[in-house]
Amino acid sequence: MSTSEIATVLAWHDAVNDNDVETLLELSSDDIVLPTDDDDEDQGLDELREWATTAGVTLTPGRMFVHSGIVVVEETATWASEPDKAEPEALAFRVVDDQVVSVYRHPTLEHALEATRLSEDDLYEG
């Protein structure tokens, strides 16, 4: 298990929460794959920049699971449009060479673990 993958994902969260788009782009691969609201995918830094400047989200990470470059984060998302409504979710990241290459959004931790084939055995206890 690599703590650099955890550090990359936590720095990615910090960049999103601080609206630090330049750092977010530096932490992401040129061809990053991102989820969309219509269950499709967007790809690339231009799409990430657009999302980061318009999303208005704060991500509060909780438990993290990591194995072979996959990091699943159980978290709470709070959107600027509904600041009193925090929503639980899970994000699954693929990290290669200290860069996020993909992010997938899941409605629950269980769904994210099933989709990534991670389990409670992969809980990060750092």
Q: What is the pLDDT of residues 71-91, one digit of tens each?
A: 999 999 999 889 899 999 999
With beta carbons less than 8 A apart as the criterion, state whether 81 and 19 touch: no
Angle at 107 between CA 58 and CA 65, to 5 degrees: 75
**What is the number of other CB atoms lying within 10 angstroms of the CB of residue 62?**
11
pTM to 2 decimals? 0.91
Q: Give me the mean pLDDT over the 8-18 stretch.
A: 97
From the DSSP assignment, how many helices (H) and strands (E) are in the chain? 4, 6
Q: Give me the mean pLDDT over the 39-54 stretch.
A: 85
